Amino acid sequence: MSISSSVLAQLMQVLPDWRPQMFFKTSLVALSHAMEDQVLAHTDGPLIIATFQQERFYRQEAHRYRRIGEQSDQVYVLAAPETDFKHGSGLYESVAFDPNDALSQEWHLVVIGDRYANCLICRERTTLEPETLGLDMDSNRRFEGIWTFNRQASCAAAIILLDRILHYRPELTDKIAAAKARYLNNSCDLTLAIAGADESPINYPDPFVNRLVSYLQVGQYKLIKAYRAIASQEQKERLIHLMTTAIRRSLDPEEILQVAVEQLGHGLEACRCIIYRCSATDNTATISHEFLNTDIGSLLGKTWALTDNELFQQVATQLESLFVQDLSPDNQAITDAVRTMAQRHHIGSWLMVPVFYQDRFLGMIELHQCRPDHLPWTGEQISLVEAIANQVGVALIQAEAYANLEDLNEQLAALDRTRSNLVAITGHELRTPLSTIQVCLESLATEPDMSPELRQVMLNTALADAERMRKLIQDFLTLSQLESGRVEWNPEPLLIEECVELGVSNVRSRYHGSRIPNIDIQLAPDLPLVQADGEWFVEVLAKLLDNACKFTPPDGNIILVARQDQAGQITLSITDNGRGIEPNRLETVFDRFYQEEGALQRTTGGTGLGLAICRQIIQRWGGQIWAESNGKDQGSRFNFTIPIATTLPVTRVRSSSNSPRRSRRTS
Ligand code: ADP
């Protein structure tokens, strides 16, 4: 059965005025070796009791104890067995104590000879000091206890340990009694041992030895400090490497923020770590990246107050890290709002590090500690978070630049498509009429005997094709300028009737009296004025009516309706009972150069740019345009919206037949 009481505690009870001191493991190794060497150097056969926490520690010293066992017949070695250490009597008495015994937390070496007595009674400290956190080093282990040449103390320690040995090996009663008789003045009682121990000779370590021990301890401190610096540098480099790898692997800022939040939260053992993107003037941010180490409640998806958080305001404006170690009501330096926020989210200590790039604030990294015994943030930890914040800043800017690049690429691709289309159109639309014009003109020039009728036909054909070319070039230029925003707009209150009238007459004049479907205009009574640029409005009406005429047989019908809708705007619809549009093409018809037959088989004329131009114009006044059709030969309806004017003055619309817009574009 194990004993739960500590030998050190028992000893301190009989030495109430003594104070244990702190020893590093390496110091204990050195002191123990010195004590063992002292035994090996003399031949007075002292009493030696050595306790090893584990069998493996004993193994490292087994050869020494074999030699020590040859020096004395009163040597006791105690260890918690792991593989084959067991009770035994040989060169020395071995005692395999229960691994649950308090002995497994302690380190003892007692030497009591005729001329000197010396003991080392220590207990391992289980709580780690802040400076040793993250250092996984055996030599870093710390013990507290006493190391002394005081004979009374050494005898008392020997009595406690001999009793413990007896507990495990009762058969050694006689041998232990002999030891007590020879080395401990037959004393079995602890207090008596202290009181009755012979005061002389008491050998205190001389100042030289004391100094040596101090140097040993100081050396170990320095070593730990150096290790700590190396470990923190190593952790910093590892995290930065992880971040760089994440940045190299992905240009997705969300993925990079997730890696950062997890690595930081984990690496710094924070209760919670959050990263969010925001500007310094945002009222709130939504938390979408979080590392959570305890059950203090997740902030994921929640709204995080920024304006009311004075700590955030300070960091975002000064671009410097800030931490508050004490958020208790006693801390008068923080505002009530901050304290309430901390209480609500169980934040015991708060570290905020800004993410910025070249003075541009991009977001925040926050680390929260919630345990009451949390350790203060160290300078190394803060500089580590700052290093990661730098990386995150670079990653965010890089991702932003990449997104811009993608936009540019898309624009370039669109431009390239336009160019290819233009080439295709040029191939057919420009070359075909040009060839016709050339043939007609050549015939007129080389055939002087041509009849006046034929001559007229030739001339009309050449003129018609020249007009087709002009229109294509004009539409193309119009669309390019609309798309690039290089168009001057003059929105004004307009009468719909007037614009519709101009649109219809525009179409009729295009068809030069050839037969077109009947156009029925149905305007709701008392329609309000609309707010638009009159010339562009007429242009839209003319293009849609022109399409309706093109794709509807001359005996068909076109109905133009205008009415005020529920959203407080005017919807105009142009319905025909012509060729119709396949349902899956209702959106595609608005693409540049889209024509159902394809550019090269067109029979109806046109450029394939009309609807694209209409959409550009309508979008400028915030309206929408869409097509409806039940399919082939089911007719089509084109609808568009236009806002109602809020001011009253009415402006008369000028006719757009002479392309007046040309003078209104900014170059
Ligand atoms: P286009 O100069 O060819 O008319 P648009 O951009 O105005 O160019 O129209 C694109 C295509 O949409 C037309 O070629 C046609 O296939 C289809 N379309 C437009 N309006 C109608 C309509 N009223 N009825 C049927 N199809 C239409």
**Quick one: 131 and 260 in the same domain?**
no
The more confident residue out of 504 and 450 is: 504
Q: What is the pLDDT of residue 227?
A: 81
Q: How far is the CA of 500 from the centre of ligand 1 (A)?
A: 20
Nearest Cα residue to 374 out of 324, 304, 311, 340: 324
By most ligand atoms within 8 Å of CB, the mutation choice from 540, 611, 637 for ligand 1 is 611
- Same domain, residue pair 363 and 502: no
pLDDT value of position 477 = 84
Provide the pLDDT for residue 115.
82
Q: Specify whether 280 is located in the same domain as 133.
A: no
- The CA R_g of the chain, rounded to the nearest whole Å, is 48
Same domain, 252 and 191: no
**DSSP secondary structure string for all residues of 382-433:** HHHHHHHHHHHHHHHHHHHHHHHHHHHHHHHHHHHHHHHHHHHHIIIIIHHH
> In this predicted model, what pLDDT tens digit does every residue of 371-400 receive, in sequence order?
877 778 888 889 889 988 998 998 889 888
Query: What are the tens digits of pLDDT across the range 168-189?
Result: 999 999 999 999 999 987 666 6
Q: How many CA atoms lie less than 13 Å away from 337 in the CB half-sphere? A: 10
CA 590 to ligand 1: nearest atom: 6
At 592 the pLDDT is 78
Q: Which two tokens stand for residue 295?
A: 């059950």
Q: From ligand 1's centre to the CA of 596, what distance in Å? A: 7
CA neighbours closer than 13 Å in the CB half-sphere of residue 92 = 28
Cα 42–chain centre separation: 67
Residues 148 and 292 in one domain: no
Same domain (yes/no): 168, 195: yes
More confident position, 417 or 310: 310
Q: In angstroms, what CA-CA distances link 140 with 19, 144, 536?
A: 22, 13, 82
| Predicted pLDDT of residue 599 | 45
Mean of the per-residue pLDDT values of the chain: 85
Q: Do the Cβ atoms of 562 and 620 come closer than 8 Å? A: no
Least confident range from 91-95, 240-244, 292-296, 308-312: namely 240-244
Q: Does the pLDDT of residue 196 top 80, yes or no?
A: no
User: Using CA positions, which residue lies closest to atom 21 of ligand 1?
Assistant: 547
Residue with tokens 């103390």: 153
- Beta-bridge mates of residue 171: none
Between 487 and 353, whose confidence is greater?
Answer: 353
612-661 pLDDT per residue, tens: 999 999 999 999 999 999 999 999 999 999 999 875 544 444 444 333 22
How many structural domains compose the chain? 4
Q: Which of 173, 25, 58, 33 is nearest to 111 (CA)?
A: 33
**58: pLDDT strictly greater than 90:** yes
Q: Which of 479, 540, 546, 551 to mutate to test the pocket of ligand 1 (most atoms within 8 A of CB)?
A: 551
Last-in-domain residue among 191, 224, 257: 224
Condensed to tens digits (0 to 9), the pLDDT of residues 116-129 reads 899 999 999 876 55
Is 207 within a domain?
Answer: yes
Say what the pLDDT of residue 615 is. 96
Q: Is 2 domain-assigned?
A: no
Inform me whether the pLDDT recorded for 201 exceeds 50.
no
Mean pLDDT of 248-271: 87
State the residue range of the domain holding 89.
Answer: 7-224
Residue 87 lies in a domain: yes
C-alpha 121/C-alpha 9 separation (Å) is 10
The Cα–Cα gap between 663 and 483 comes to: 17
State the pTM of this model.
0.46
512 & 651 share domain: yes
Structural domain contains residue 101: yes
- Helix H, strand E, coil C: the string for 529-596 is CEEECHHHHHHHHHHHHHHHHHCCCCCCEEEEEEEECCCCEEEEEEEECCCCCCHHHCCHHHCCCCCC
Q: Is residue 132 part of a domain?
A: yes
Q: How many CB atoms lie within 10 A of CB 462?
A: 19
Say yes or no: 527 and 597 in one domain.
yes
Tell me, yes or no, whether 99 and 185 share the same domain: yes
Calculate how far, in angstroms, residue 550's C-alpha sits from the geometric centre of ligand 1: 8
Sign of CA dihedral 261, 264, 269, 275: negative
Distance 622 CA to ligand 1 centre (A): 23
pLDDT of 423 above 50: yes
User: Among the three residues 168, 194, 224, which one is the final residue of a domain in this structure?
Assistant: 224
How far apart are the C-alpha atoms of 101 and 108, rounded to whole Å? 14
Least confident of 39-43, 77-81, 256-260, 579-583: 39-43
Instruction: Work out the angle at residue 36's Cα, subtended by the Cα atoms of residues 31 and 39, and round it to the nearest 5 degrees.
Output: 130
- Domain annotation covers residue 1: no
* pLDDT of 602 over the 70 cut: no
- Distance in Å, CA 112 to ligand 1 centroid: 111
pLDDT at residue number 206: 62
Residues with CB under 6 A from ligand 1: 547-548, 551, 576, 578-579, 581, 589, 594-596, 606-612, 636
**Whether the predicted pLDDT of 7 surpasses 90:** yes
Q: Which two tokens stand for residue 640?
A: 């568009």
Encode pLDDT of 536-590 as tens digits.
999 999 999 999 999 999 999 999 999 998 878 999 999 999 999 999 999 999 9
Output the pLDDT for position 360: 92
Would 74 be classed as within a structural domain?
A: yes
Last residue of a domain, one of 402, 436, 469: 402
Which residues have C-beta within 8 Å of that of residue 318, sequence separation ≥ 6? none
Give the number of other CB atoms < 10 A from CB of residue 224.
21
199 vs 629, more confident:
629
Residue 345, pLDDT score: 92
Q: How far is the CA of 322 from the centre of ligand 1 (A)?
A: 64
Q: Residue 565 Cα, ligand 1 centroid: separation in angstroms?
A: 26
How many Å apart are CA 421 and CA 593, to the nearest integer? 7
Averaged pLDDT for residues 511-524: 90
Residue 657's φ and ψ, nearest 5 degrees, are: -65, -25
